Amino acid sequence: MANKKRRTVLLVGIVDKPLVDEYVGTVNSLCVAYHFSGLGFGTAPKTYRNFFGFEEIEKRVVCSLVPSTSVHAVMSGLNRDLKLYLPGQGVAFSVPLTGVSSLVSEAVLSTPEVKEKDTASRKKSKKETIMRELVVAVVHQKYADIAVDAARAAGATGCTVMHTKSQGNEVVGARIGTSFREDTDTLTFLTDSDQKAAIMAAVRDAAGLKTDGGAVIFSLPVDEIVGIGRFEE
């Protein structure tokens, strides 16, 4: 029977484009991992954007399949090598998976298992990371700013935007009373679990399925996190 404690998880990193090679190199130095990435955009409050003269900050979203037993070591390495403890430098977090290709998982889990000391700081880290959530909203591009502003007013501290394309389904559209648009933005908010409901409700009210924004909103649990000044060794 498979060891439930040793499994493949999804590690998501959001970093500046020039840091991608260093990010991947750090992960690869600590475990066997499979990576894929895409272009995203970080947002900031309008007052900051106007002051610095930009609208969006180009980011790279790197998704990696890694062994669960290496997550903490990888987080520590990224925190050290990429200085993710500095505000705005980037963020990485892990998300549990319910299924994965067996061939990929076998390769990833070939990483030698390293037993970590269960120190007080490690226990604290485990306790804290249980309280994180990733809120995702797929919204019509014209209403992305409205959704981001609503989420921020509800407590969201940041957002990463990926320009995406929705594939509509007439049956689903008829059942929920809306039509899906092709040009969409996928908004991701990393937040504390006690703020999740307020953020989702704010986005729903401002740009949800019953509005022209047509946002589809859902959330995912986050296991561990490093970056945005919240991680402690």
Pairwise pLDDT comparison (233 vs 224), residue with the higher score:
224
Backbone angles phi, psi at 99, to 5 degrees: -170, 155
pTM for the structure as a whole: 0.75
Percent of the chain with pLDDT over 90: 45
Question: Is residue 77 over pLDDT 90?
Answer: yes
- Of the chain, the percentage scoring pLDDT greater than 70 comes to 74
- Return the pLDDT at 42: 72
Average pLDDT over residues 77-83: 93
pLDDT at 159: 87
**Residue 117: its pLDDT value, please?**
52
User: How far apart are alpha carbons 38 and 60 in whole angstroms?
Assistant: 6
Long-range contacts of 119-124 (CB under 8 A, 24+ apart): 121/232, 121/233, 122/72, 124/232
State the chain's mean pLDDT as an integer: 80
Taking a C-beta distance cutoff of 8 angstroms, is the pair 33, 66 a contact?
yes
Is residue 125 over pLDDT 70? no
- C-alpha pair distances (Å), 192 with each of 78, 125, 128, 134, 171: 21, 14, 9, 9, 35
Taking residues 18-38, report their average pLDDT: 94
Q: What pLDDT sits at residue 6? A: 82
